[in-house]
Structure 1
Amino acid sequence: MALTAIGLCSRALLKIGATPLTSFDEGTAEAEVAAALYAPTRDALLSARAWSFATAQAALPRLATEPVADYAHAFQLPADFLRALSAGAASRGRGLDYRISGRALHAASSSVVLTYVYRPAEEDFPAFFDQALIARLAAEFCIPLTENSSRADGLHQLAEAEFRRARLIDAQQDVQPGFEDFSLIEARGS
């Protein structure tokens, strides 16, 4: 079952023995804590790894203003951008020298294809990521709502275990890249 932001927060609140939410605006302590901590916790967990379900590629639009130094062109980052993984020119998603500066990518190339981690809709999160996020939210919600630091420590350990489990599951969904242009392998063949 796909969960919404409210559903994810409610499950985390249940883990710490708090009342689940119906809305971020309901005026309870649980709603205030969830509203304040949900988005930064979600984005931090999404940014922590190149999740297969949250990785995309986009041809970036070039900006009219040029960088002051080092690179010839500036490009607008996507609105859902969280973290850059690689950049390439033309139809290649890697191999380009670049720098992220503010909300722009600077590069010498006149066109850029960016491979990046983005923020998908909560309903598109796979179950293994839901569980990791719920565990992390429970750990984050614990001290503001229960003031129990030893319980929060235990929840943080559980959250780390869930994160490792989610990473393992996600890694099994992808073929690992081989070596390209590696001089030792090339020397061995001659």
Structure 2
Amino acid sequence: MSTTKVSICNEALNMCGASSITSFDDEDDNARRCAAIYDQTRKSLIRMHPWSCCKKREVLSPTTAHPTFGYQNAFPMPSDFIRLLNAGTKDFDIENNHILANTDSIQLVYIYDNKNEQTWDALLAEAMALYMCSKIAKPITGSQAEGDSAYQKLMNLLKQARAINGQERPNDSFFGDEEASLITVRYQ
């Protein structure tokens, strides 16, 4: 079975003991609840963790308008931007949906708003169902207990995702680019 908005919402609804939906267009309170919060919940969850399935790279060119002071150039963020991972420079700032920097281009690595659930990691799909459940549980059940439980499970799942990311990515060198200068200082 492929992962879709509806399948994720049905998992969340089932966690609450509610009936499933066939589409966000159903004439049903559950479908309306899911449709109303799905997009913002997805963006929030994708921002919470650097999901590999939501990672992109792009080279940015500066706009013709320059910052008044502090930096030479302003680079507009991509329209699907959610979270910055690396700007390719150490001296930058984010302001008004732009990256400000003293460079001629930005090699941006970022988390984007991946709306294609079929490309999602299994943990992201499960996290989304838990997050949706945490938000819709009280209106459906009349109690916040199920929502609080789902949110706690989500937090634990995010910890697991961080651990898995740590295992799947190469280790960052402890010394990085400054190894020689650190050793030099130590033994002078």
Give the TM-score normalised by structure 1: 0.87
Root-mean-square deviation over aligned CA pairs: 1.9
Residue aligning to 1:132: 127
Matched, 1:184 2:182: yes
Q: 1:22 to 1:185 in 2, by over 3 A?
A: farther
The number of aligned residues is: 184
Residue aligning to 2:109: 115
CA offsets, 1:19-50, max 9 Å, x none?
A: 22222122321112111221122111111122
- Uncovered stretches (5+) of structure 1, i.e. residues with no partner: 89-94
Q: 1:107 to 1:152 in 2, by over 3 A?
A: same
CA contact (8 A) 2:61 2:104 kept: no
Q: CA deviation at 1:81?
A: 0.6
Q: 1:16 to 1:69 in 2, by over 3 A?
A: same
What is the alpha-carbon distance in structure 2 between the residues aligned to residue 61 and residue 145 of structure 1?
48
Q: CA deviation at 1:83?
A: 0.8
What is the alpha-carbon distance in structure 2 between the residues aligned to residue 39 and residue 172 of structure 1?
30
CA contact (8 A) 1:14 1:20 kept: yes
- Uncovered stretches (5+) of structure 2, i.e. residues with no partner: none
What is the alpha-carbon distance in structure 2 between the residues aligned to residue 41 and residue 167 of structure 1?
19
Question: Helix, strand or coil: the match of 2:79?
Answer: coil
Residue aligning to 1:92: none
Residue aligning to 2:168: 173
Q: Percent identity, please.
A: 30
Q: CA deviation at 1:189?
A: 7.2
Q: How does 1:11-160 map to 2 (within 5 A)?
A: 11-88=11-88, 95-120=89-114, 121-160=116-155
